[in-house]
Amino acid sequence: NAGVTQTPKFRVLKTGQSMTLLCAQDMNHEYMYWYRQDPGMGLRLIHYSVGEGTTAKGEVPDGYNVSRLKKQNFLLGLESAAPSQTSVYFCATNSFGAGGANVLTFGAGSRLTVL
């Protein structure tokens, strides 16, 4: 039981390159989230999904796209990376939609550097 798995753990990009971060969960949770964490800024919600095939914008969605084609996977895409997107990205899930507690389980994080 791995919980929430993020890949890759580290990545360095050049400005303008594209990439996709993958979040996979084996807890059968409906709700999934992508947060970014920057020094002194806490955790800010980028996009989220309340179920397979659904996505919605969070606090800082610009420059990112997401997809939830399968319940267990939530992908975060950067079409044209910018230095401002240098950050640590965390995926999280909860079972809130299925009557569970609104408690987030986080992945280990993906550290992205854009040069």
Partner 1 sequence: GQQVMQIPQYQHVQEGEDFTTYCNSSTTLSNIQWYKQRPGGHPVFLIQLVKSGEVKKQKRLTFQFGEAKKNSSLHITATQTTDVGTYFCAREGYGGSQGNLIFGKGTKLSVKP
Instruction: Considering only the stretches 10-18, 50-58, 70-78, 79-87, report the one whose residues sit in contact with partner 1 under the rule CB under 8 A.
Output: 50-58
Q: Least distance from C-beta 89 to partner 1, angstroms?
A: 11
User: Do residues 5 and 23 make contact, with C-beta atoms less than 8 angstroms apart?
Assistant: yes
Q: How far apart are CA 51 and CA 71, in angstroms?
A: 7
Instruction: Considering only the stretches 11-19, 20-28, 38-46, 77-85, report the one whose residues sit in contact with partner 1 under the rule CB under 8 A.
Output: 38-46
Which one, 19 or 45, has the nearer CB to partner 1? 45
Q: Scanning residues 51 to 70, which ones bind partner 1 (CB under 8 A)?
A: 56, 58-59
Quote the strand ranges of the chain, DSSP E: 4-7, 10-13, 19-25, 31-38, 42-49, 56-57, 65-67, 73-78, 87-94, 105-106, 110-114
Encoded tokens for 82: 């910018």
What does the chain come to in residues? 115
C-beta neighbour count of 91 within 10 angstroms: 27
Contact call for residue 103 and partner 1 (CB under 8 A): yes
- The residue within the footprint of partner 1, chosen from 9, 16, 41, 83 (CB under 8 A), is 41
Contact call for residue 27 and partner 1 (CB under 8 A): no
Which positions touch partner 1 (CB under 8 A)? 31, 33, 35, 40-45, 48, 50, 56, 58-59, 90, 94, 96-97, 101-109
